[in-house]
């Protein structure tokens, strides 16, 4: 009998609250057996490997929060590991849903979640940058290179400016759920400002075309400002409800 399991990927910067969000989800879960894998892309690794040591503090957090099983999965950076990941002992264990935290070992998941902290000072999530032509590492010649250069330069033939995301939040543009984790009420104003920028990823035509384009959909992002340390936070509850819908969906 085949097992249908939906996958949710939780990404974000270090220390943003990814593990805490997963803990809150597991603690509030009553309808599914959920397993969690901490995934790490390693530049010095040639083959994927998994571990589930009982002394691993992060895996212990998953288990204590209610995960049916937990593992750490390391794989070579710069590539996906579909077959190897699905062949792990972790995936052989019975579960009804999979949570992946950290780097993505799979190209496609059912739901992508991004956790972030409020941006410091007056920093912006969306920025204007100058298009400088094709990336020199791309192996393009002839008509393809000229066409791309023309698109980047625009009708005037000059180097145009385009919208881009802050480098540390690359990948947020394709997330369906974004959580801005605040730890102090004084952070909320900055977080709300970033929330408005996140809304522009789908609503502003020029931002959508520059940052997302053919890679994404116009479906609005479910985004919220929440204190992940407060289990009663209303915005946190809304986010958890949205994530749970991914596990409850059946084709």
User: Would you place residue 30 in the very low, low, confident or very high pLDDT band (cuts 50, 70, 90)?
Assistant: confident
Question: Measuring CA to CA, which residue among 13, 228, 237, 22 is closest to residue 120?
Answer: 13
Question: Strand 126-130 and strand 161-165: pairing?
Answer: antiparallel
User: Among candidates 207, 243, 249, which has minimal Cα distance to 222?
Assistant: 243
3-state SS assignment for residue 114: strand
Q: What percent of the chain has pLDDT over 70?
A: 86
Tokens describing residue 144: 């393809």
Q: 30: Cβ–Cβ under 8 A, 6 or more apart, which residues?
A: none
Task: Tell me how far apart the alpha carbons of residues 84 and 75 are, in angstroms, rounded to a whole number.
Answer: 9
Say what the pLDDT of residue 26 is: 96
Query: Across the strands, what pairs with 180?
Result: 116, 225
Judged by DSSP in three states, 245 sits in: helix
Spell out the residues 6+ positions from residue 153 whose beta carbon is closer than 8 angstroms to its own. Answer: 131, 133, 159, 160
CA 236 – CA 220 distance, rounded (Å): 18
Among 81-90, 92-101, 124-133, 145-154, the least confident range:
145-154
Which residues contact residue 133 at a Cβ distance below 8 angstroms, ignoring those fewer than 6 apart? 148, 149, 152, 153, 159
Of the chain, the end-to-end C-alpha distance in Å amounts to: 16
Distances 220 to 3, 109, 213 between C-alpha atoms, Å: 30, 18, 15
- Structure confidence at residue 117 (pLDDT): 95
Q: What 3-state class would DSSP assign to 77? A: coil
Report d(CA 183, CA 194) in Å as an integer.
15
Contact call for residues 67 and 35 (beta carbons, < 8 A): yes
166 touches 124 (CB < 8 A): yes
pLDDT digits (tens, 9 = 90+) for 40-99: 999 888 889 999 988 999 999 999 999 999 999 999 988 777 888 999 999 999 999 999
Any alpha helices (H) in the chain, and if so which ranges?
18-28, 57-65, 82-86, 89-92, 142-153, 188-203, 205-207, 234-248
- Separation between Cα atoms, residue 98 and residue 51, nearest integer Å: 16
Residue 155 has pLDDT above 50, yes or no: no
Lowest-confidence segment of 58-62, 68-72, 155-159, 190-194 by average pLDDT: 155-159
């Amino acid at each position: 009998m085949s097992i249908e399991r939906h996958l949710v990927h939780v990404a974000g910067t270090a220390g943003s609250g990814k593990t805490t969000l997963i803990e809150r989800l597991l603690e509030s879960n009553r309808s599914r057996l959920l397993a969690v894998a901490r995934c790490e892309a390693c530049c010095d690794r040639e083959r994927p490997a998994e571990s589930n040591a009982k002394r691993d503090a992060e895996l212990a957090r998953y288990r204590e929060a209610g995960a049916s099983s937990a593992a750490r999965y390391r794989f070579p950076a710069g590539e996906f590991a579909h077959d190897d990941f699905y062949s792990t002992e972790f995936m052989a264990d019975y579960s009804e849903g999979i949570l992946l935290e950290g780097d993505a070992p799979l190209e496609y998941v059912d739901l992508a979640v991004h956790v972030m902290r409020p941006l410091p000072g007056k920093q912006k999530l969306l920025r204007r940058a100058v298009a400088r032509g094709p990336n020199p590492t791309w192996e393009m010649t002839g008509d393809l290179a000229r066409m791309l250069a023309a698109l980047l330069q625009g009708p005037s033939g000059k180097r145009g400016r385009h919208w881009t995301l802050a480098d540390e939040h690359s990948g947020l543009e394709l997330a369906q759920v974004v959580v801005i984790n605040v730890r102090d009420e004084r952070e909320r104003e900055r977080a709300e400002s970033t929330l408005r920028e996140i809304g522009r990823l789908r609503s502003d035509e020029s931002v959508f075309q520059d940052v997302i384009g053919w890679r994404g959909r116009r479906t609005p992002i479910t985004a919220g400002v929440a204190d992940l340390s407060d289990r009663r936070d209303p915005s946190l509850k809304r986010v958890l409800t949205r994530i749970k819908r991914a596990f409850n969906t059946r084709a």
